Structure formats: C-alpha cells, structure tokens
Structure 1
C-alpha cells in the first residue's frame, strides 16, 4: 500500500486517481487538515465521555433531565433564524450519495433531499469520494447518469434543496490518518462538502446545510457549533451561514434538546425524530435494565407511549425556540402488487397523519413513490402555512423522564426473532459488500433497523427472556436459529445470489456481535474492517 502524504499533518493510504484529484485538491486538504488538527482531540474526549455516561447507566442509573442546565430550559430565547429555502420542509427524501439516487431524489415531489454519507451509505473509499463529486455536480447543475439501456437521467428545473448528512462522531475515515490514528469521518465529509460547494450554494440563494447524526449530548452539539463558527471565520462568512438540523436519535439526547438547540443556536434550524436509531439507542442505553427490554421490533411503533412522548416533547421544545420539528422515516417501499401497495400507502398515511396532527413541520420518506401520499397529508395539515412553528403544544402536561423511559408492551415471538436474524444478516451482507441501503421484505433498511434487530436479540439473551412459546432465549437457541435462517435466506434469494454474496462473513459477524459478552456499540465499526 503506497502511503501518499500530500499534507504535513495528514497521511492518505489510497493512491490518488482522477476522482481523488478532483476532491482532495491541495487547498481542500489544507482546510481538512486544519479542522482535524484543531477539533479531533476534543472529539476524542467527547467519545470518552459517552463511555463514562454509559457505565453509570449500566450500573443502574437512569438517564434524565440535567439539573445544572435548568436555567437554559426555563429561560426564554430562540435560535438565530431559518433561511428562506428551508422554511418549507414538508416532505424530505433520504438516500445515499450515489449518482442515480442523487438525481432521482432531487427530482422527486419533495422539498428537501438529505444526501447521506452516514447510515444508508457503506463508506468504502470510492463511494465516499464519488459521493463528494456527485453532490458537487448536482449543486452545479451538471449531474447526469446513463443506465445500461442508454436512458439518461438529468436534473429537472427547480430540484429539491440539498442537505448533506455527514458521518457520526464515532465513525473513523480509516484511509486518512493524523498522528497514526484514523481521522473523524464527520470532519472529512463536512470539510470537503463545505469547501467545494459553499460558493455555488450561496450564489444560488441556498447555503451549506447539514444533518448531524447520533449526537448524545449538548457538549457534542457545542463542538459542532465551534467547527461551524471556525469555518465561517476562516472563509470570512457571516455567523450563521452554515445551518444544521440535528437528529434526536439517541436516548441521552432526548433529555437535552433545549441545551442542544441553545449550544447550536447560531447554526441550528431544527431537530429530527430519528425514530429507528432512537429505538436502537433505547435498547443499547438500557441494555442492563431487565425491566426495559423491548418486544418484537414490529410492535415498537410510534403510537407506543414512550415514542409518542418523544415526538411530542421534540415538537414542543423546538417550536418554543423557533426551530423545526421534523418527523421520522417511513421505511416502506411501494409495491407493484396493487393490494399490497394499497396496504403500504394506508400504513404510511396513518403514521404521517399522526405526525402532522402532533405538529411536526415535515417528515421523511425513503422512496419517491411515497412522496405524493405524504405530501397530501402535510398539505392538508399545513393549509396556507409553510410549516407548523405556530403549533406550540402549550396545553400539554409536562413530559416526564418516566414517560420517556416507559417500558413498551408487546410479545417476543419466535417469528419475530427469526425475522430479526434474516434482516440483520442480509443487511450486514449488503453493507460489507458496499451497499448501505437495501430493500428487504418491503422495507428500506439502513444501519439503524439492522441495529435494532441484532441488539434486541443480544438483550433477550443477556436477560434470559422467554419467547411467547415458552422457550428461553439463549446463545445456543440463537445459533440454532441463525443456522436455520441462513437456509431460508438461501432459498429466498436463490443459490446463485447466495453463493456470489458474502453471507458466510455476514453470519459470522452477526454471530460475533449478538453473542459477545459486552454489547458492541455499532455494527458498522467491526463491519468497516470488512469494507474496502
């Protein structure tokens, strides 16, 4: 492996081809190097603080609101403001930064495209570099893609507004090192997207807009605020040029929403209910608490008390501060079979009506085929308004920590456990093969849904829970089911696809992370070792 050093501080392990030279220009690398040098040590401290907090919760302490920051929660203040092209976000589509996806998403009947370097992208070096080129070309209006049959995909006039989701603080970019350590993936994604696109975005009346994932504390939000402010000063831009929407998708963060908005008040425009990751985080955070074990993934829906409380508290908190409260992901995929499709659209409609009625300003979909249905729901709810910032939910009783932590009723079934195994194995196989966003059984699965599948089983084993048929969930039972479900997967996909895939490696990784004594934080960390 040739080590390429194009900066004094950073070392690149990949050779620079034509694509790399477009993205990793000397000036871009110099800016990246400055961010990495300045902000990595503090990022490492923030990750260490997560471990300390988790150890306390593992020891029996439950997360809750912070007494020291009550003055921030109780005083009156608002965020700096929202740019014009983000005032109406009624439907947002999400997907990886692959070329065809970028074009289709920007052309969909939606207001915003969240272009994803995180949970729906398996971050192989080539995909991360290509993703930067794809977004640059989209912003410049020059993006096109031709399929094998010769069909050309191009941007329509007036595409959706682009928001870039960078990787979470915990994810490294292993192909670039600083002092012999992989640099933060989040800084790599942020620096290159900002550097190459800020001028073109501002020239067309938009701006550098970001989605921030997996935040666990207001201190992490404050770190981002410093990154943004430093960047604005570095490029002589007014304070508040960079705007971010932050996902509340971890259990610790739900207790710190006011503090997060306050720490990022110059740059933040809203919070988003990252519901799937939030369920995963509920399992992971409360993994040692036998009374908080969740049932089958299929029965943990947004109408359950602990999730409904989270949605309502997020809306109330955001709107009080002049920030948007975005709804969560509809993971369903339209079906070619009309009865099934009708069922899908009704399911999505009911879910989105609940969000719109609660007061969300907009919501997420994973497939353009859901756009019309969801737009209709929000058009009806919004009327002549662009958003629901006026819905303050002042009549709500205060939402307590107990409500946010309330155990979720429902069964643990053998069918549910087997479905978890099949979904997780197929997702891991796709991810290590370089595809982070996969349709499985009619749902668009990304890392979060696979995380729920495997952490659920880990927790059931850990607490020796019983299934509804009376069987105790043990490592042996899991291994037996895993072996059986591998045959089911092979039968469903066919021998050719199965033998050409990386299913043996996926099953080994699934077995390792589901039976380990301590819960592995993110499957993407061991998975990343198997990725190019």
Structure 2
C-alpha cells in the first residue's frame, strides 16, 4: 500500500489485484490530497444554497457570469475520435454480461454506469473496473449457462459514468478519510486504460452526473488537467459530457461548458434526475407541487424549456446536445402491449431528433433499431450542430413553470410506493437497475417516487377524489405492497424489504426529504462487503 492508503474490504478473485495496484492507489491518493478539500467545500456550498432556497430565494441565471453567456466567440473542443456520431447511446451497469451485450448492441456508444443503475458494493465497483479493463483489450469473452458471450470486432465506443460528487467511497481511505466515489471511479478507469484507449485510436471518455454549479465543473476540469499530466498524455485527450440533471445546473449550462471547454463533448438531458431535483430544490415552495409521475412528461412547460435551452446552448458552443432515456423496455409474450410501449419510444425519439438533439439514450439492445431508424431518417449527418435554435428565448420563469396537467391519484401514489420500495430493496441487496411493470427503474426514478410521496404528504395534498394524502395512508399502501415486492424483484430478502419499508415511512414524515437515498442507505452495503468502513464527517 502507498503511505496513508487503506483498503477496508476485499473482493474474491483476481479483480482486486489487477485494479488496486500500488501505482493506481498512489494516483488515487494524489487526487484525493489535491482535490478533496475543494469537493467538500462545494458540497457545503450546496447545503448553503438549499438553505437560501428554503428561505424563499429564487433561482436565476448567475449575474457574475453574464459575460460568459454573452461572448459569442468561444467554442468547446471538436468531437474526439469515436464521438463524431452519437445518435444512439446504450446505458447500463458494468457487470460482465451487460458490458458485452451493450458493446455488441449496435449502438454508437455504451455508457458504462457506476452511478444510478449500479449498487456500489465493493464487488460491483472493483469487478466493474476489471470488466471495462478487459473489454478495452478485447479479452472480455466468457461463457455462462452454456452460452458464449463474445465481443464483436467493432463494439460501441465506451463512455464511463462515475458516481456523483456527493458519494464517498468508504472502502478506501487516504490519511484516514474516505475518498470521493467520483474520484475513485474516475481514477482507476483513467489510470489503467487511458494510454491503451489512445493507442487504439480513442480516448478516456466520461459522463459527469449531478453537478449543481459551474465551480463543480471547474473541479472536474482541474482533475482532468492534473491527471493527463500525471500519466503523460496531451491535455484535451479526456472528453466529458455533462448530464444536466439538477435544477441549478439548468441555469448554468453555458458556464459548465465554458469551464470544461478543453475537455467538453456536450450536455445531456438527464430527465429523470432533473425531475427529482426540481421537486427537491423547490421543496419549500407549495407552488411546485407536481401531479402523478406519468403526467410529468417532456411536454411539461418546465421540461420543454429545459430541453430547448440545452439544445440552443450546445449548438451555440458546437458540442453535442444529447437526449434522454425512455423508460419503456420490450414486453415479451404480449404483442399488443409491446407495440404500445414501443410506440411511446418512437414518439419520444422522434420528438428528440426533430427538436435538434444529436443523439439519444436507450436501456435495452432491442430498442436500438427503433431509435437508430428514427435518427437515420431525420438526422442525415453525424450531428445537428447547424440547428442553432436561435429563436429560443428561455427565461428563469420558464425553467420554473409548474403548470403541469394532471392529477394526484391513488394509482399514482401506489405506483410510487411500489417503485420506491422495490428499487430500495434491490439496491441494498446489490442490484442497482430493475424492470418494474415493463419500465426500467434506477435510482433516479426511485428518487422521484420518494420525493413526490414526501411532497404530497408535506403539503397536505388530496387525491383527485378528495381523500387526503396522510402518513397513515402512505403507511397502509406500503404495508399492502410489501408482500408483492419479492415477486417483483428477485434475490432480495425479507430484511431488505423491511429496511426499505421503514425507510419510506420515515421519509414521508421528515421536515425535509433526504438529499439522496443512496447516501442514506450506504450502511446497508457494509454487510455485503464484509467489514467496517470509515464514514464521512460531512
């Protein structure tokens, strides 16, 4: 071990010895010692910002960076090798089967996810790094259940999403403090693979989640510059796409691009986390109450404004404006239901490409053809940077417009309870991505469900039939739902279902909802990893 570094958990097999090498841990320690104090100060700034919002402050475009938005001459870096055409990107966790299937899906890129579709057990994190290491070197082939999984000759281009700034990696400490989950995920992937990727004509590419301020983008840019110098590759080799999935970030899109301009490859409409953030950031505003989750669509005023501004911003600065994820997945053995679901996917992708997006996300290989056909028909070149959307005028009030059509229904409440319970129980069992009722649920959709339930209880909302939404009413639905959760999600235990149920009951009674369920419930993963961790003091 490098001086001051401790590993507090272990993973069976050879992944740990391959990934947690002394040079890699020394690099991780260097990043931690150089940058973690800045991360901690930025997280404290988030808390201060939320306190101001709770006291009645409103979000607006920052006055101190008006010159950045007004200056027309700056542009981001040109597309990196392999990122010239991103019309369809598939996403998913980093287990070996998923990695092979996603890379072979026919999509242009694969976003390998250490974040919202992943439960961060130490095994998932370290084995996921090994799977990507092997995939880059075309040595990921394996056999399972008599079936061969073999990487194609021309797989999708790999993009990695590390965890958000708020999450620690408690199994690794430097000077007796846990390292950042973001830095851990980035550091190990970059250190082991950057030079190999360059040798193969590509580069280390990333998706950056859940940022709330342009200074958080500046921190990433500083880490990129430091890291490239550390291993001796050219500045600008790294490219990063930022997910605009928090409400504050929507007011700072140009500033975020500006901070990352040497390393930027665009912005993405992270629609589900954006809805979650919209509710959470405006938790003290009774005018921000939203109806059933199914009614909060991309046509909702605040969502439509966010999309139009993102496309205009990206094309003004000559980078990709990526669309988001349709939650629908194929339905087997029911042709009629499957056609309805796939019709929703087609409509969603058609809306994106005609709005000016340069690409879109899918969660299942069988949806690739649908999305690709639509983009091929309507996007003849590799991107749509020429669609400037100069007519777009988005004011702060547009990004905050909550005139969303819809009701709060018993069905909507029950759907939220089921999604939050099932996902939470799955997550603490080590599974971060689950299908429920033919929708792909991950941490983002579970978070929407959780904070909507809190919002409806906190503001004493009523159902469309006039019945009050009380803690007792939520409790009764939780109790009714518990017996079905193990049928919905395989591999979970009664104890894990109970933890999820107790957690949700507690959440709807809080003065304010927790920031992230994943932060709250990391302690549940400790038993899966076998050992005691160092907890963050923040």
TM-score band, normalised by the shorter chain? over 0.9
Alignment check: 8 A CA contact 1:9 1:179 kept: yes
One of 79, 86, 99 as aligned partner of 1:102: 99
Mapping of 1:164-243 within 5 angstroms? 164-243=160-239
* Residue number among 324, 330, 333 corresponding to 2:326 in the alignment: 330
Structure 2: distance between partners of 1:487 and 1:32? 44
* 1:393 paired residue number: 389
- The question of 1:525 aligning with 2:525 is answered no
2:256 is aligned with 1:260? yes
Structure 2 length as normaliser, TM-score? 0.95
**Counterpart for residue 533 of structure 2:** none
Q: Deviations over 1:193-252 (max 9, x none)?
A: 001101110011100000000010000000000000011111222210110000000000
Residue equivalent to 1:115: 112
Please list the CA deviations of residues 479-508 of structure 1 after superposition, one character each: whole Å capped at 9, or x if unmatched.
122112223446x559x9776672112211
- The residue that corresponds to 1:508 in the other structure is 502
For 1:84, what is the secondary structure of its paired residue?
coil
Aligned counterparts of 2:263 and 2:519: Cα–Cα separation in 1: 29
| Equivalent-residue separation in structure 2 for 1:382 and 1:392 (angstroms) | 15
4+ residue runs over 4 A deviation: 496-501
Q: Name the residue aligned to 2:364.
A: 367
1:292-371 matches, cutoff 5 A: 292-336=288-332, 337-371=334-368
Tell me if 1:381 matches 2:378. Answer: yes
How many angstroms apart in 2 are the aligned matches of 1:511 and 1:466?
18
- Of the candidates 88, 92, 111, which is equivalent to residue 91 of structure 1? 88
How far, CA to CA, are the matches of 1:259 and 1:192 in structure 2? 28
Partner of 1:483: 479
Task: Report the Cα distance in structure 2 between the residues aligned to 1:405 and 1:231, rounded to whole angstroms.
Answer: 38
| 1:446 has 2:442 as partner | yes
Single out whichever of 77-86 and 320-329 deviates more from structure 2. 77-86
Contact 1:513 1:523 survives alignment (8 Å)? no
Q: Deviations over 1:163-198 (max 9, x none)?
A: 000000001101012333321000000010001101
Tell me the alpha carbon deviations over residues 83-123 of structure 1, each in whole angstroms, 9 at most, x when there is no partner: 13101000000000000000000000210000000000101
Match for 2:7 among 2, 9, 12?
12
1:137-148 correspondence runs (5 A) = 137-148=134-145
Determine the structure 2 residue equivalent to 1:286: 282
- Range 511-520 or range 386-395, more displaced: 511-520
Using the alignment, how far apart are the partners of 2:149 and 2:338 within structure 1? 26
Deviations 1:384-425 (A, max 9, x none): x001111101122x1011111001232011110011001110
What is the aligned partner in structure 1 of residue 532 from structure 2? none
The yes-or-no answer on 1:124 pairing with 2:121 is yes
Residue 145 of structure 1 and its aligned partner are, at CA, apart by: 2.5
Q: How does 1:387-426 map to 2 (within 5 A)?
A: 387-396=383-392, 398-407=393-402, 408-426=404-422
Q: Distance in 2 between matches of 1:507 and 1:187?
A: 32
Displacement after TM superposition at 1:469 (Å): 1.3
Q: Between 80-89 and 25-34, report the one with greater CA deviation.
A: 80-89
Once the two structures are overlaid, the 10-residue window that deviates more, 188-197 or 176-185, is: 176-185
Cα distance 1:349–1:201, how it changes in 2: closer, same or farther (>3 A)?
same
Question: Whole-Å Cα distance in 1 between the matches of residues 178 and 162 of structure 2?
Answer: 16
Report SS of the residue matched to 2:521. Answer: helix
Runs of 5+ consecutive residues of structure 1 not aligned to the other structure: 1-5
Give me the whole-angstrom Cα distance separating, in 2, the residues matched to 1:81 and 1:70: 24
1:260-308 deviation line (CA, Å, top 9, x unaligned): 0001111011000000000000000001100111110010010111101
Structure 2 unaligned segments of length 5 or more: list them: 529-538
Moved more, 59-68 or 11-20: 11-20
Instruction: Quote how far apart the aligned CAs of 1:519 are.
Output: 1.1
CA distance in 1, matches of 2:407, 2:53: 25
2:465 partner SS = coil
- Whole-Å separation in 1 of the counterparts to 2:488 and 2:132: 33
**TM-score, normalised with respect to structure 1:** 0.96
Distance 1:381 1:527 in 2: 44
**What is the SS of the residue equivalent to 1:219?**
helix
Distance in 2 (alpha carbons) for counterparts of 1:258 and 1:202: 29
Alpha-carbon distance between aligned partners in 2 of 1:272 and 1:229, rounded to the nearest angstrom: 23
RMSD: 1.4
| Alpha-carbon distance in 2 for matches of 1:503, 1:48 | 33
- Farther off after superposition, 511-520 or 259-268: 511-520
Instruction: Give runs of aligned pairs for residues 427-446 of structure 1, distance below 5 A.
Output: 427-446=423-442
Q: Contact 1:12 / 1:177 at 8 angstroms: preserved in 2?
A: yes
The 8 Å contact of residues 118 and 168 in structure 1, kept in 2 or not, is answered as yes
Task: Give the one of 127, 134, 151 matched to 2:131.
Answer: 134
